[in-house]
Structure 1
Amino acid sequence: MRVGLITADPGHPVLAATAAVLRGRGHRVEVVGPGEAWVGDVCLLKARTDQALALARELESRGVPVVNSAAATELCQDRVRMAELALAAGLPFAETRSAGTPGQLVDFSYPFVVKSRHSRRGDLVARVDDAARLCELAERWPDEAVVTQPFLDGTGWDQKLWVVDGRVFAARRRSELAPPAVGAGPAVEWEPPADRAALALRVGEAFGLDVYGVDLLDGPAEPVVVDVNAFPGIRGRAGAPEALADLALRVAAGRGR
């Protein structure tokens, strides 16, 4: 099989490990760039830029299967569309509202959460406890389109679930919204209860994703999904590269049928 990677970082740990597994099984793995008349059996879409999505759509138009599809990947970049789809599917997703720019946020009860509407590396994710914090964000992100979510009490950790072709991997990590005094920290091993794993699988069905991450609030409340990510890093999860390699080959074989 000939497997393509749409990525700006082919050395990313999960991609490099997956490529090593595939090559060890006798398959070809290549980085696919824009403008190439690439012909292969399947592509893995790790990048999420406009250029990467355009390339994925062009490959799909030529019959090359892309994991995840360009449409599913693009949907996960828009937190408003993400929330609408999740709620329509009956998933317990955090209430998400489009709110213009940080400087346009008025009449909110503190604390609340503000996030970039368009999910990307280095985007805005912040807890707003008072007007001073809101003014700070408005100065730093004056033109950023944002959404708001209610701040939900938790432990300062997030439940991170990653799914590859129906296999669930998990860990707990310090929340981006944890107070600065708590500090950051490495992920810790965590075995998700059956209901959390089942919820993660439901997310994939609703969003049309094969490789994705689900962030759940860690706390006493019922499970609440706060974000969905197409093709996350899945760093340090034993078995993830092999699962990703198996997925690529399964999709490629399905194309042949």
Structure 2
Amino acid sequence: MSQISCWIIYNGNLPQKKFMDFARWTASAARKKGIKPTIIKNNDLLVSFKKGTPFLAGRLKEERPDFVLFGDKDIFLARQLENQGIPVFNSADSIEICDNKSRMYQTLANHGILFPKTIIAPKVFGELYDDSHYATVIKEIGFPMVVKEAYGSFGMQVHLVQNEVELLALMKILKNTEYVFQEMVVSSYGRDVRINIVGGKAVASMLRYSDTDFRANVSFGGKTEPYTPTREQEELAAACAEAAGTAFAGVDLLFGEDGTPIVCEINSNAHIRSIFDCTGIDVADDMMNHILRTIQS
């Protein structure tokens, strides 16, 4: 029986060490399971077409893998791999849902999942600026208000606005950027819970908190501690992962005023070092176990 092989794809244009760290970490987990991993930059696999037939151009000469662990958001590449019959984790569709916050919240709403009151900003073309709807937004959501750009990770591109002046100034800056207006969950200021879901089950969890920022992200100086989620939190996080179609995800939950968990967002490409440093749990092992069960079933 031949050895199972996989490609681990990361973005070759991102210089931050955390992305290569994820690739190496998951490659190590693969080797422990007897899987042969090959780490590949997304820009070494070019989505190409010839005579109406898709193929991958580039420098790679590796044989077709048994599966791909896709640690990137290059949706077209992920879908091209799927179209060639290669299992991709996470799937292109699930990555696309999680990558665009507008689509993510619309998906959650379609499944009746609780998240803060949200309004998707209308589509704006070119360098035009549109504030015709701001009065409605203020009436529906009020202040303080969180404005989230549709694309962004690690708490970046997330803004807190306290009044009408700040809101209009930010809208003028964002212009045609896709973004959403969202109710600020004051009871969860600077606090959230990250739950890693693998195969529909919670495998690790940590509390994130900040004394200096409304965002609890570690990238913004947030601190972490191990956390035992309630059954309600676990079930909500699992429901989010299922709604988005992810095999594994990092789900961030907020604390409602009465303790009710509220979804902040779903991360299909959650980095796993911080939760390992906090809890000692290697989520990569669970990810590989789940993938093996899936492709061998």
Q: Same fold (TM over 0.5)?
A: yes
1:160 maps onto 2:194 in alignment: yes
TM-score, normalised by the number of residues in structure 1: 0.85
Q: What is the Cα deviation at residue 91 of structure 1?
A: 1.1
5+ residue gaps, structure 2, are 13-17, 47-55, 58-62
| Higher RCO (Cα < 8 Å, 6 or more apart) | 1
1:198 maps onto 2:235 in alignment: yes
Q: How many residues align?
A: 248
Higher-Rg member (1/2): 2
Does the C-alpha gap of structure 1 residues 188 and 121 become closer, same or farther in structure 2, counting only changes over 3 Å? closer
Paired amino acid for 1:89: H
Q: What is the Cα deviation at residue 136 of structure 1?
A: 4.3
Paired amino acid for 2:241: G
**Aligned-residue RMSD, C-alpha:** 2.6
Query: How many Å separate the matches in 2 of 1:173 and 1:93?
Result: 18
Q: What is the Cα deviation at residue 116 of structure 1?
A: 0.7
1:223 maps onto 2:248 in alignment: no
Query: How many Å separate the matches in 2 of 1:24 and 1:190?
Result: 27
Query: How many Å separate the matches in 2 of 1:150 and 1:214?
Result: 19
Q: What is the Cα deviation at residue 224 of structure 1?
A: 0.9
* Residues 195 and 206, structure 2, Cα contact 8 Å, conserved in 1: yes
Equivalence map 1:236-247=2 (5 Å): 236-237=275-276, 238-247=281-290
Query: How many Å separate the matches in 2 of 1:228 and 1:26?
Result: 30
Question: Structure 1 vs Structure 2: percent identity of aligned residues?
Answer: 26
5+ residue gaps, structure 1, are none
Of residues 87, 93, 97, the one that matches 2:115 is 93
TM-score, normalised by the number of residues in structure 2: 0.74
Match of 1:82? 104
Equivalence map 1:26-175=2 (5 Å): 26-32=34-40, 33-35=44-46, 36=56, 39-48=64-73, 52-100=74-122, 104=131, 106-107=134-135, 108=138, 109-120=142-153, 123-138=156-171, 140-155=173-188, 156-165=190-199, 166-174=201-209
Does the C-alpha gap of structure 1 residues 202 and 213 become closer, same or farther in structure 2, counting only changes over 3 Å? same
**Secondary structure at the residue paired with 1:199?**
helix
Q: What is the Cα deviation at residue 103 of structure 1?
A: 5.9
* Residues 203 and 286, structure 2, Cα contact 8 Å, conserved in 1: no
**Secondary structure at the residue paired with 2:151?**
coil
